[in-house]
Structures are given as C-alpha cells and as structure tokens.
Amino acid sequence: MTLEQIFYLSQSVASVAVVGSLIYLGLQVRSAERSQRAIMQQGRADRASNAALAIASPELARVFQRGAAGDPTLTREELTQWIMMCRALFLSGEDSLLQYKAGQLDRRAYGSYVAGSRFWMASTGMRAAWKLSAEQFGPEFRDFGNSLLAEVSTAQGADVYSEWQRHLKSESPAGGV
C-alpha cells in the first residue's frame, strides 16, 4: 500500500467518523429536547397541583368559591386573598403561554391549559379579577385573556357546584342522587 493510498483510506475513515459523530450528536440533541420538555411539563404540573392543593385549604376554598361567584360581600382581606389567588393563576397561565410560544410546551398541554382558562373565565369573579389585573401582564398574555373574556359568556360553567350536581344526576343509575 502506498503512502497516497493510506492517506485516502485515512480520509475516508475520518469522513465516516465525522458522519457518525454528527448522527450521534443529533440523537443526543433530540433526546435532550425531549427531556427538557418533560421537565418543563413536570414543573408546570407541580406548580398547578401545589396551587390547587393550597386553594383547597378550608379558608382559601371558601374565599375562592365566593370570589369566583363574584360575591360582593367579600371583606377587604378576602378580596386581597382572592386577587392574590387569581394573580398566581394568571402568572402560571402567562408562563404556560410563553412556554408554548417558545416551543417548550406541547400543543396538548397548552390545550388543557386553554380549556381550564375558558372554564374559569366563565365565572363573574374571575372576569372581574382579570379586568383588575390585565395591565400587569405582557401584551401576548393580556391579548389572550381579553380574547377569552370576549369569547366566553358568564352563563357557561360559572357555577362549579351546580355543574357538578348536574353531572352527578346524569351519572346516577336512577337519574338522581
């Protein structure tokens, strides 16, 4: 084998090694992207679960129920609690929107967020809280919230308890509870 043949052989081996390395790198990048999306979804689920559990405490559940219903007899303290709960929900929502726009949250997860937002924006108290808070958020999320306000009427799903009772009746074998 001549020196020239050895040179061409080594160049061929090097080329194959570079292609192999690029394929491996592509697979690693793809795997890292999947892992990052999973971590982002896990964080979003943890955040939402922790918020839901906090709101389920007896005092906050009562305030949340009254706030969502738009109870005008909320005290100043209760109104502050209600607005802070809504602010936390809105901040979480803004984060979900921004993650989705950045490609970090998949369409299904974002769709579940939008469905929940549509449900809760039917409550008069949530609508009022949004109107008080909207200017505190970036333009994309503000547009999103305002579009929900325009699209969702207060008549649908505004009373969770009544909706729950209706579903119980429809699931009962005798047609009633």
> How many helical (H) and strand (E) elements, i.e. helices and strands, does the chain have?
7, 0
C-alpha neighbours within 13 Å on the C-beta side of residue 157: 12
pTM of the shown model: 0.74
DSSP assignment of 53-69: HHHTSHHHHHHHHHHHH
User: Using 50, 70 and 90 to split pLDDT, how confident is the model at 24?
Assistant: confident
% of the chain beyond a pLDDT of 90: 51
Read off the pLDDT of each residue in 79-97 and give the average, rounded to a whole number: 95
Whole-angstrom distance, CA of residue 88 vs CA of residue 112: 18
Domain extents in the chain: 45-171
Q: How far apart are the first and last CA of the chain?
A: 91
Contact yes or no for 119/111 (Cβ under 8 A): no
- Low-confidence winner among 21-25, 58-62, 147-151 (lowest mean pLDDT): 21-25
pLDDT at 176: 55
CA distance 66 to 172: 28
